[in-house]
């Protein structure tokens, strides 16, 4: 489809979705959510895509929350439906078979932080700012923030951020485990793509099974988690990439992973 609120690109196995409403600081509205869902459809249909990078257009913002002009018109039912729509799309992002990196280049507020939280990990510019300021509008995070943030940084820190609506600069976000790494702003995308391209050279099946094992094992008893891991390990062993990887090691050469998700 033709995109108006995002820019979608695929290069060398790395897909990039750039949130592109710079005049509104890339704020989320219903149309942007629809376009994000369509881009995820394209990624799921393209086996050549190995990694997804998310970032924001312009100098100031990754995603500065929901579009308040749209939000202010909602009644109870519309608010619930909008929340569920965002939750379902961000859950698709979290469950995507490939790794997802959020490259946060500026404000990641409200829904922007929630998009980043649904990614596999977060790189941030040193000028980036995170926060869930919904409480200052008389509402709460509605796209999964109350659930994912506590699981990532702990319940007490999550409550503090949500109850106060405080802004958290990138260096502090790194200290509390919200952000993986912080870079100078002019180095953010270079470093993000360096990591993304390195991941894209790994085996498709092993990447998928590693992500599934971690995600599916997070909220189950550890014995069940071990079984999830063992099942995934077995699937990996059946893939051409496992034969290539082990063969390359024994032959003292660099592995070239070309296997398919289909075998």
pLDDT in tens, 155-195: 999 999 999 999 999 999 999 999 999 999 999 999 999 99
Q: What is the chain's mean pLDDT, rounded? A: 95
User: What's the pLDDT band for 2 if we cut at 50, 70, 90?
Assistant: confident
Considering the domain architecture, whether residues 188 and 244 belong to the same structural domain is answered as no
Q: What is the pLDDT of residue 232?
A: 95
- Greatest CA span in the chain, whole angstroms? 65
Q: Does 46 score more than 50 pLDDT?
A: yes
Considering the domain architecture, whether residues 142 and 17 belong to the same structural domain is answered as yes
Q: What is the pLDDT of residue 14?
A: 97
Q: Is residue 235 part of a domain?
A: yes
User: What's the pLDDT band for 219 if we cut at 50, 70, 90?
Assistant: confident
Task: Exactly one of 4, 35, 47, 134 is catalytic; name it.
Answer: 134
Q: Which helix (H) or strand (E) holds 90?
A: helix 76-95
* Threshold 0.85, pTM exceeds: yes
Considering the domain architecture, whether residues 219 and 104 belong to the same structural domain is answered as no
Q: What is the pLDDT of residue 263?
A: 46
Higher pLDDT, 260 or 100: 100
Residues β-bridged to residue 14: 11, 51
Q: Is residue 262 part of a domain?
A: no
Q: Is residue 126 part of a domain?
A: yes
Considering the domain architecture, whether residues 71 and 93 belong to the same structural domain is answered as yes
Separation CA 15–CA 122 (nearest Å): 16
- 10 Cβ contact partners less than 8 Å away, ≥ 6 residues apart: 16, 46, 48, 49
DSSP reduced 3-state for 262: coil
Reply yes or no on whether 114 is catalytic: yes
Considering the domain architecture, whether residues 120 and 235 belong to the same structural domain is answered as no
Q: Is residue 258 part of a domain?
A: no
Task: Exactly one of 35, 114, 174, 209 is catalytic; name it.
Answer: 114
Q: What is the pLDDT of residue 231?
A: 96
Token pair of 31 as six digits: 């149309």
Mean pLDDT, residues 212-232 taken together: 95
Separation CA 20–CA 62 (nearest Å): 9
Considering the domain architecture, whether residues 93 and 158 belong to the same structural domain is answered as yes
Q: Does 113 score more than 80 pLDDT?
A: yes
Considering the domain architecture, whether residues 38 and 90 belong to the same structural domain is answered as yes
Token pair of 246 as six digits: 């082990």
Mean pLDDT, residues 74-84 taken together: 95
- 4 Cβ contact partners less than 8 Å away, ≥ 6 residues apart: 20, 31, 35
Considering the domain architecture, whether residues 169 and 242 belong to the same structural domain is answered as no
Separation CA 83–CA 142 (nearest Å): 5
Residue pair 99/126 in contact (Cβ under 8 Å)? The answer is: no
Reply yes or no on whether 229 is catalytic: no
Residue with tokens 């249909």: 45
Considering the domain architecture, whether residues 85 and 151 belong to the same structural domain is answered as yes
Q: Is residue 219 part of a domain?
A: yes
Mean pLDDT, residues 193-201 taken together: 96
Q: Does 262 score more than 60 pLDDT?
A: no
For 26, which DSSP code?
T
We report the CATH number of the domain holding residue 236 as: 1.10.12.10
Mean pLDDT, residues 24-46 taken together: 95
Listed residue (45, 29, 144) closest to 94, CA to CA: 144
Domain that residue 233 falls in: 203-251
User: What's the pLDDT band for 258 if we cut at 50, 70, 90?
Assistant: confident
Q: What is the pLDDT of residue 60?
A: 94
Q: Is residue 146 part of a domain?
A: yes
Considering the domain architecture, whether residues 36 and 151 belong to the same structural domain is answered as yes
The total number of structural domains that make up the chain: 2
Considering the domain architecture, whether residues 168 and 238 belong to the same structural domain is answered as no
Q: Does 261 score more than 70 pLDDT?
A: no
């Amino acid at each position: 489809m033709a995109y108006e609120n995002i820019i979608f690109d695929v290069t060398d196995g790395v897909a990039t979705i750039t949130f592109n409403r710079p005049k509104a600081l890339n704020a989320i509205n219903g149309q942007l959510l629809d376009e994000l869902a369509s881009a995820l459809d394209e990624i799921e249909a393209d086996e050549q895509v190995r990694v997804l990078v998310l970032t924001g257009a312009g100098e100031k913002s990754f995603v500065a929350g929901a579009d308040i002009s749209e939000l202010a018109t909602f009644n109870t039912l519309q608010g619930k439906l909008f929340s569920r729509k965002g939750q379902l799309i961000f859950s698709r992002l979290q469950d995507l078979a490939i790794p997802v990196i959020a490259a946060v280049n500026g404000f990641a507020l409200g829904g922007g932080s929630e998009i980043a939280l649904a990614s596999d990990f977060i790189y941030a510019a040193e000028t980036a700012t995170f926060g869930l300021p919904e409480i200052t509008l008389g509402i709460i995070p509605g796209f999964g923030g109350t659930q994912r943030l506590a699981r990532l940084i702990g319940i007490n820190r999550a409550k503090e951020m949500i109850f106060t609506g405080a802004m958290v600069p990138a260096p502090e976000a790194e200290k509390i485990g919200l952000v993986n790494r912080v870079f100078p702003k002019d180095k953010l995308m270079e470093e993000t793509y360096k990591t993304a391209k390195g991941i894209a050279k790994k085996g498709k099946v092993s990447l998928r099974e590693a992500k599934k094992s971690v995600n599916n094992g997070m909220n189950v008893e550890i014995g069940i988690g071990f079984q999830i891991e063992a099942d995934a390990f077995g699937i990996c062993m059946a893939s051409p990439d496992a034969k290539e990887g082990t063969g390359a090691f024994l032959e003292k050469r660099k592995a070239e992973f070309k296997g398919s998700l289909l075998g």
